[in-house]
Amino acid sequence: MQSPETAEEMLQLAADAAVSKGGEDLVALNVSEPLPLVDIFLLVTGNSERNVAAIADEIEDRLIEAGHKRVRREGRAEARWVLLDFGDLIVHVFHQEERVYYGLERLWKDCPVVPFELSESAAAADRD
């Protein structure tokens, strides 16, 4: 298992990647207490199937480029809810409707939010 610092570094990379492709409403949850094999869930919303796929692809590319191994990817073909499993970090990229329907924030409401800041370039892309 990787260190929590590694999970937070992965979170930062994934968050910046998501925002660079138009990801919205990013929320990171510390799920290490109920799920001992996972540290963080990152939830991201895209506004169309094409956008969801682009966000997921960018996150995956950046994490792999940084040397992290993808354990599993699901949902890419439909691009309504893409799950990217990188071990200690699991990224959920949702279409708006699926995010509301499945309500993972509600299901994991007892888990603390993990704070993160977007890099300067990601924050600038978010404002554009």
Rounded to whole angstroms, what are the CA distances from 110 to 30, 34, 40, 76, 107?
10, 10, 13, 29, 8
- Determine the Cα–Cα distance for residues 105 and 68; give it in Å rounded to an integer: 26
pLDDT in tens, 36-73: 889 999 999 999 999 999 999 999 999 999 999 999 99
Instruction: Give me the CATH number covering residue 50.
Output: 3.30.460.10
The parent domain of residue 74 ranges over: 4-127
End-to-end CA distance of the chain: 38
User: pTM of this prediction?
Assistant: 0.89
Q: What is the pLDDT along the chain (128 residues), one digit of tens a residue?
A: 445 578 999 999 999 999 999 999 999 999 999 988 899 999 999 999 999 999 999 999 999 999 999 999 999 999 999 999 999 999 999 999 999 999 999 999 999 999 998 876 655 555 45
Number of folded domains that form the chain: 1
Q: What is the dihedral of CA 30, 89, 28, 6, to 10 degrees?
A: 80
